[in-house]
Amino acid sequence: MHLLRKLAPHWRAVLLCLALLVVQAFGDLSLPRYTSLIVDVGIQQSGVEHASPDQLTASTHDQIAALLTQEQGGESAAGEKPAGESAAAPDGAAAPAAATGGADPAATDPAALFAAAYEPAADGTFALTEQGSAVRDQLDAVVAGPLAQIHGLTAADDAGAADPSLLQQQGIAAAQKEYQALGRDLGAMQMDYLLRTSAIMLGMAALIMAAMIAVSLVASRTGARIGRDLRQRLFARVMEYSAAEIDSFSAASLITRGTNDIQLIQNICTMLLRMVIYAPILALGGVVMVAATAPSMAWIIAIAVAVLLTVVGALMAITGPKFRIMQQVIDRVNQVAREVLTGLPVVRAFSREDHEQERFDQASTTLYRTQLFTNRAMTFMGPTMMLIMNGVAVAVVWFGGLRVSMGTLQTGQIIALITYSMVIIAGFLMISMISIMLPRANVAAQRVDQVLATASSVADPAEPQDALLPDAAQAPGARIEFRDVSFAYDQQGENALDHVSFTIPAGSTCAIVGGTGSGKSTVLQLIERFRDVASGQVLLDGVDVRDLSQAALRSQLGYVPQRAFLFSGTIRSNVGYGQDHLSDERLAEALRIAQAADFVAERPEGADAPIAQSGSNVSGGQRQRLAIARALAQPARAFLFDDSFSALDYRTDAALRQELQTSLAGRTVVIVAQRIATVMNADQILVLEDGRVVGRGTHAELLESCPEYRQIAESQLSPQELESALPASAAKGGDAQ
Q: State the chain's mean pLDDT as an integer.
A: 84
**CB under 8 Å to 170, separation ≥6 — which residues?**
144, 145, 148, 153, 154, 162
How many CB atoms neighbour CB 82 within 10 A?
5
CA–CA separation, 632 vs 576, rounded Å? 10
| Mean pLDDT value of segment 656-683 | 88
What is the distance between the alpha carbons of residues 140 and 132, in angstroms, rounded to a whole number?
10
According to DSSP, the β-strands at 535-540 and 543-544 are: antiparallel
pLDDT tens-digit profile of 200-224?
Answer: 999 999 999 999 999 999 999 999 9
Q: How much is the average pLDDT of 671-679?
A: 86
Q: Each residue of 310-333: pLDDT tens digit?
A: 887 787 778 777 776 776 788 788
Find residue 558's DSSP bridge partners. Answer: 639
Pairing of strands 638-642, 557-560: parallel
Mean pLDDT of the 611-622 span? 86
Where residue 307 falls among pLDDT bands split at 50, 70, 90? confident
Query: For the residues 93-108, what does the mean pLDDT come to?
Result: 42
Q: Which of 25-34, 76-85, 175-184, 527-536 has the lowest mean pLDDT?
A: 76-85
As beta bridge partners, residue 509 has 669
CB 460 within 8 A of CB 549: yes
> CA-CA distance, 526 to 254, in Å (whole number)?
24
Helix axes 411-453, 353-406, angle to 10 degrees: 150
Encode burial over 249-275: b for 16+ CB neighbours within 10 A, e otherwise: beebbbbbbbebbbebbbebbbbbbbb
DSSP per-residue letters across 527-595: HHTSS--SEEEEEETTEEGGGS-HHHHHHTEEEE-SS----SEEHHHHHTTT-S---HHHHHHHHHHTT
User: What pLDDT was estimated at residue 528?
Assistant: 92
Give the pLDDT score at 80: 47
Mean pLDDT throughout 401-414? Answer: 80
- Can you say whether the dihedral through the CA atoms of 368, 371, 373, 375 is positive or negative? negative
What is the DSSP code (8-state) at residue 184?
Answer: -
Residue 598 DSSP label:
H
Q: What angle is formed at CA 251 by the lines to CA 247 and CA 254, rounded to 5 degrees?
A: 105
Q: What is the pLDDT, as a whole number, of residue 156?
A: 54
Q: Apex CA 17: angle with CA 260 and CA 25, to 5°? A: 115
**527 has a pLDDT exceeding 90:** yes
pLDDT of residue 33: 87
pLDDT at 655 over 50: yes
Would the pLDDT of 714 be above 70?
A: yes
pTM listed for this prediction: 0.71
Lowest mean pLDDT among 177-186, 466-475, 561-570: 466-475
